[in-house]
Amino acid sequence: MKRFTVTILKVKYILLALLVVFSFSCSPEDGEDGKDGVLGATGTNGTDGTDGTDGSDGNANVFVSEWIHASYSPTSIDSASRLQFIIPAPELTQDVINNSAILIYGKTNGIEVWGLPLTFPYLDQNFSFMINSIGDIDIFCDGGTSAPYLNYFKYVIIPSNTIKTNIDYSKMSYKEVSDNLALYY
């Protein structure tokens, strides 16, 4: 047993001696790096990658008319209290009427803009619109004895493929629709 203990002690001392030798033989300052080698020849360019897929459409298909000054005339239905103004809208095809949201906005000479249909109770005036024929939008002003309060109109056509899900543009203000579709005011 004594011989076994002496052997373990010798092995212990040898391992400790090796640890000390290796600890001092490796230092972080091992000399200077060698010179860089000569650069190799430039390789050939790779082939171009394939084109990416097209992104989704933005508002490119949304049509916004200019402001159109109204020229009202009495209607044949009830000339005493109903005035009518017809906006020529050549963009209104049957396909557009069937598959698009059509919004109408009116304004005064000022900057206030309202979506139609609209009622001004204090003026006793109701504004509405109807698409009676392809290519025309009929604007109506019912009631009131003064001149119609709204005298400029604009229409916006939003194709169904542009309409974002769960958005009811008819309940939005002109500014909200413009912001949502990135349109100019």
Residue 2 lies in a domain: no
Residue 57 lies in a domain: no
* Residue 37 in tokens: 């080698």
22 contact partners, CB below 8 Å, separation of at least 6: none
Residue 8 lies in a domain: no
- Residue 95: the pLDDT is 92
Give the range of the structural domain holding residue 169, as residue numbers without chain letter.
63-181
- Residue 22: the pLDDT is 60
Residue 147 lies in a domain: yes
Predicted TM-score (pTM) of the model is 0.63
Number of structural domains (the chain) is 1
Residue-wise pLDDT tens digits, 77-113: 655 678 999 999 999 999 999 988 899 999 988 788 9
CB-count burial class (<10 Å; 0-12, 13-18, 19+) for 72:
middle
> Pick from 122, 131, 100, 126: which is nearest to 114 by CA?
126
Residue-wise pLDDT tens digits, 150-180: 999 999 998 887 766 677 888 888 888 888 7
Residue 38 lies in a domain: no
Find out whether 141 and 150 touch, Cβ atoms under 8 Å: yes
Residue 29 lies in a domain: no
Three-state secondary structure call for residue 82: strand
Residue 153 lies in a domain: yes
Please report which confidence band the pLDDT of residue 2 belongs to, taking 50, 70 and 90 as the band edges.
Answer: low
Q: How far apart are CA 149 and CA 157, in angstroms?
A: 24
Residue 21 lies in a domain: no
CB-count burial class (<10 Å; 0-12, 13-18, 19+) for 85:
buried
Find out whether 62 and 164 touch, Cβ atoms under 8 Å: no
- How far is the first Cα of the chain from the last one, in angstroms, to the nearest whole number? 101
- Amino acid at site 16: L
Instruction: Spell out the alpha helix ranges (H) of the chain.
Output: 2-25, 94-99, 174-181
Please report which confidence band the pLDDT of residue 4 belongs to, taking 50, 70 and 90 as the band edges.
Answer: low
Question: CATH code at 129?
Answer: 2.60.40
pLDDT of residue 67 exceeding 60, the answer is yes
